[in-house]
């Protein structure tokens, strides 16, 4: 419990005790009883209540997240020029009072959803783009009072700075920024640039009025039903076009693969034919060289064929039967000639 709260509670209790003593004194008086001691108690309690009440009125405790503006009946301007910092502070009882302001971060949300914003119901921002299209924007502003300008905020705005400064400034800045972009830029290509432009302008506007912008959040951008339907149709058409392009690309790849396969088969066939031709050429060349070698040998040894022929015959052959109307293939001087007889036939 804060000391100021405790002193206030004791002061209030003192007044209750004082009232009780007065009532008791009246009762005893009506009964013609002694009230001297009660009168003394009433005086002491009254003085204590006055002192405690005065002390309670003069002591002020400023929370760490607060700053205090002293409204003074004795100051020339009606207020102290120095704001009260956190801690237990003293002001002139009954002549001064303190108005506290929070310097903690605050969030102000404007949304189309009835329960999301500070105002119940649709509190979204309607704006027109450069090409005349209507967009619906949800946004949140995170801000705080500048501790060094609390007095200025009190003088200029007091408790009205949220509804009379933050809210209308944000809505106006958003509308002016949206008017510089086309509809397709707002929801796609330049959305980040739009948010940055709004935030930059908000920083300047709030700073001039004693507030610090912590962050600006462009929560959502919606469109009219007609434009949303046109966007959907466009997206469907683009998706179909992409699918068609993919099919064409796939067919092209398949055709390319088929061409590569045919080219490979062609190269393989050519390579195989060249290999066979080369092999035949090598075989023919080898056979020609072999025949040439045989011819050269026969030229030097004409009887070599007779020898090779005889060599192939069985080594025990002494007689050969040949047709009587054909000449000998080879001269065989070592074979015995037998004159055919009628028993042998022709």
What is the percentage of the chain residues whose pLDDT exceeds 70?
Answer: 85
pLDDT confidence of 311, banded at 50, 70, 90? Answer: low
Residue 1: what pLDDT? Answer: 46
Side-chain-side CA neighbours of 216 within 13 Å: the count stands at 25
Residue extent(s) of CATH 3.30.479.30 domains in the chain: 106-229
pLDDT confidence of 103, banded at 50, 70, 90? Answer: very high
Average pLDDT over residues 54-70: 92
Asked if pLDDT for residue 329 goes beyond 60, the answer is no
Q: What is the pLDDT of residues 262-301, one digit of tens each?
A: 788 887 878 877 788 788 888 878 777 777 777 777 677 7
pTM as predicted: 0.60
Closest CA to 19 of 44, 45, 55, 40: 45
Domain 106-229: CATH architecture, name and number where available:
2-Layer Sandwich (3.30)
In this structure, how many other beta carbons lie within 10 angstroms of the beta carbon of residue 98? Answer: 19
In this structure, how many other beta carbons lie within 10 angstroms of the beta carbon of residue 343? Answer: 5
From CA 109, how far away is CA 128, in angstroms rounded?
Answer: 20
The pair phi, psi for residue 80, each rounded to 5°, is -80, 140
Residue 315: what pLDDT? Answer: 59
Out of 52-56, 171-175, 278-282, pick the least confident: 278-282
- If you write DSSP's letter for every residue of 234-300 in order, what string do you get? HHHHHHHHHHHHHHHHHHHHHHHHHHHHHHHHHHHHHHHHHHHHHHHHHHHHHHHHHHHHHHHHHHH
């Amino acid at each position: 419990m804060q000391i100021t709260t405790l002193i206030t509670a004791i002061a209030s209790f003192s007044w209750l005790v004082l009232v009780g003593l007065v009532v008791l004194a009246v009762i005893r008086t009506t009964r013609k009883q002694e009230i001297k001691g009660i009168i003394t108690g009433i005086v002491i309690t009254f003085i204590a209540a006055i002192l405690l009440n005065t002390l309670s009125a003069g002591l002020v405790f400023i929370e760490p997240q607060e700053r205090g503006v002293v409204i003074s009946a004795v100051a020339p301007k009606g207020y102290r020029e120095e704001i009260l910092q956190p801690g237990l502070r003293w002001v002139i009882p009954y002549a001064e009072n303190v108005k506290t302001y929070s310097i903690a971060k605050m969030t102000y949300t404007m949304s189309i959803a009835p329960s999301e914003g500070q105002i119940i119901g649709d509190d979204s921002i309607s704006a027109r783009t450069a090409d005349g299209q209507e967009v619906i924007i949800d946004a949140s502003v995170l801000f705080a009072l500048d501790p060094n300008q609390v007095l200025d905020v009190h003088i200029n705005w007091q408790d009205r700075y949220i509804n009379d400064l933050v809210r209308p400034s944000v809505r106006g800045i958003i509308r002016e920024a949206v008017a510089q972009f086309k509809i397709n830029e707002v929801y796609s290509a330049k959305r980040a640039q739009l948010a940055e432009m709004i935030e930059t302008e908000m920083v300047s506007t709030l700073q001039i009025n004693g507030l610090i912008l912590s962050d600006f959040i462009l929560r959502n951008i919606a469109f009219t039903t007609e434009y949303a339907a046109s966007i959907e149709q466009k997206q469907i058409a683009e998706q179909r076009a992409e699918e068609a392009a993919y099919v064409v690309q796939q067919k092209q790849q398949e055709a390319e693969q088929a061409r590569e396969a045919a080219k490979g088969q062609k190269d393989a066939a050519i390579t195989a034919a060249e290999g066979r031709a080369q092999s035949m050429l090598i075989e023919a060349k080898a056979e020609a060289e072999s025949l040439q070698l045989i011819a050269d040998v026969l030229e030097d040894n004409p009887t070599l064929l007779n020898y090779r022929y005889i060599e192939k015959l069985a080594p025990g052959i002494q007689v050969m039967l040949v047709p009587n109307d054909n000449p000998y293939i080879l001269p065989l001087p070592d074979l015995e000639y037998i004159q055919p007889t009628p028993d042998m036939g022709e």
